[in-house]
Amino acid sequence: MSNCVLFQPFALHDLTLQNRIVLAPMTRSRAGVERIPNRLMAEYYVQRSSAGLLITEATTISEQANGWNESPGIYTDEMAEGWKQTVNAVHEKGAVIFLQLWHLGRSSHSSFHNGKPAVAPSAIKINEPYIHTPTGKQPHEVPRALETDEIPKVVDDYRKAAELAKGAGFDGVEIHSANGYLIDTFLQSKTNHRTDQYGGSVENRYRFLKEVVEGVTSVWPANRVGVRVSPNGAFNDMGSPDYREQFTFVASQLDQFGLAYLH
């Protein structure tokens, strides 16, 4: 088996992976109510560190981004310090690890935000039965559409999270732009009914992701940044008729950045 290409080292730009196996990001709930990464999480990643590249579970970039019970965050110094346990332990095993940056958008619930509604590009509710919240299963709610002048603050939250990830010692970051979370809902015509510069055309719906990538690559070299998309995914009540046009354009635009990868 040692001669199999899968187990041979791979050059991911300036990083050398010990093999061509990648641990996909899998959302988890082991960070406790404070959302601070812990020893149990470090153990989990060490157990999988024979892979060449590990992509962490989805990790929220701000309090506004939360919406999954006890998932980890990367928006305080304490959270970044907590992640160091995982990063250091994985590096000792010779693996490379990227942190996945996450904002849940409309797939959150007011119970995560002191009664305030979740945010989204447009006030369109997820057409699914319920969401798991700190108080049990609850029906999905209509989100609040972000005002145009609020969007730069969200973009800056991604940038700040990227800085904290760099300080924690990660090898790179992945921008979660899939699965019906905030960025994906900006990209797709089903969930983006805006009439400002962030909605309407294929180009305008891409604008938010473009600004997030620009913010994150002001912190990291582009070849240490990945982007995840799900062009034809149905999770979180997604799926737009023009997805081929939209995501062909997105891929062509992202290609100009020289990113680590498109996931």
Residues designated catalytic:
181
Span between the terminal Cα atoms of the chain, in Å: 27
β pairing state of 119-120 and 144-145 = parallel
- Between CA 219 and CA 179, with CA 70 as vertex, the angle to 5 degrees is 65
- Between CA 94 and CA 102, with CA 97 as vertex, the angle to 5 degrees is 170
Distance CA 86, CA 37 (A): 8
Mention every residue, 6+ apart, whose C-beta is less than 8 A from residue 50.
18, 19, 21, 93, 95
β pairing state of 96-102 and 53-60 = parallel
Distance CA 71, CA 112 (A): 12
